[in-house]
Amino acid sequence: MSGGALYPREFFTLVYKPGGKLAEFVVRTSKEMTDEILQTVSAMNISLLGAVLSLEGVEGPYNLFLFLDFSQSKRTPADLKKVLLMKEGVNEVTYAVYEAPGILISRLGYPLMTGFGRCRLVAFGAESLSRAFGDIYDELGGGGGLLLYALGKRVGREMVETLEREARDVLRGEGLERLFLDFYQASGLGRIKVVEWGLPQREAIIRVYDNWESWAVRGLRDRPYCFFTRGIFAGMFTELYDMEIVADERKCIARGDSFCEFVLRKKP
């Protein structure tokens, strides 16, 4: 949406490193301690595979998740915990060691949250979910498309409700449409480009690149296929404008187009 570069954002749930002695740490601390903790890990010759700093609630504390490989270090996870607990500003250290060599699946990060701990998330692989939605359509035909559209519309409305609930003081004035589309992109659903915007009185045209819904069937269908995404956009802007907005798809990566393109308009 900004027009600038975009960067992949790793979601540390599973780490695979053959031959590694892997451990997951959670350090409850202040944000200011992050650099010192990472320097300590490096000084102990422990390989850092990933790190996530998560704020637990609006006021904190911070949870620093560390995904570590001890295979090149003479120190143990217990040693690292002892050293970290000696630091002022570190309140608690928990770790889990993985018996299966070379693979780490997070045991300590649950539940997945956003909105400073107010909204719970679940994670599925985009291609797996894309195939599952395709199966629904293949089994139910047009009825499956209507079902997916209705489900997407519910999700779109609730995306807006979540933002309004958490940020109602800043959700005012012009440009709210951009904020909600940014939320769509930030959720990993696809890269957004607004081609034209005339809602609520005129139509809007939105392009989505890499749209997850048709990702697993790129070039394999003969018609637009993103029923759930259509529903999300319809639900978002029905909720925002407090009037019925409908969405149609006229280009789709499922039929070989380079992007999915949606037209939004007020329902006659």
For residue range 68-124, what is the model confidence (pLDDT) as tens digits?
999 999 999 999 999 999 999 999 999 999 877 788 888 898 888 776 667 788 888
User: Is the pTM here over 0.75, yes or no?
Assistant: yes
Residue 13 and residue 123 in contact, taking contact as beta carbons nearer than 8 Å: yes
Whether omega before 77 lies within 30 degrees of 0, making that bond cis, reads no
In the structure encoding, which two tokens stand for residue 111, read together?
Answer: 């539940």
Q: Tell me whether domains 14-121 and 126-266 share a fold.
A: no
Which amino acid is it at 179? L
In the structure encoding, which two tokens stand for residue 122, read together?
Answer: 């679940």
Share of the chain above pLDDT 70, in %: 91
Show me where the domains of the chain are located: 14-121, 126-266
Distances 185 to 65, 174, 210, 237 between C-alpha atoms, Å: 24, 20, 10, 16
Q: Does domain 14-121 have CATH number 3.30.70.260?
A: yes
**What span, in angstroms and rounded, lies between the C-alpha atoms of 47 and 67?**
9
User: What topology is assigned to 126-266 in CATH?
Assistant: Muramoyl-pentapeptide Carboxypeptidase; domain 2 (3.30.1380)
Residue 110 and residue 192 in contact, taking contact as beta carbons nearer than 8 Å: no
Of the ranges 11-15, 77-81, 176-180, the best mean pLDDT one: 77-81
> For 29-63, how does the pLDDT look when each residue is reduced to its tens digit (9 = 90+)?
988 899 999 999 999 999 999 998 887 766 668 89
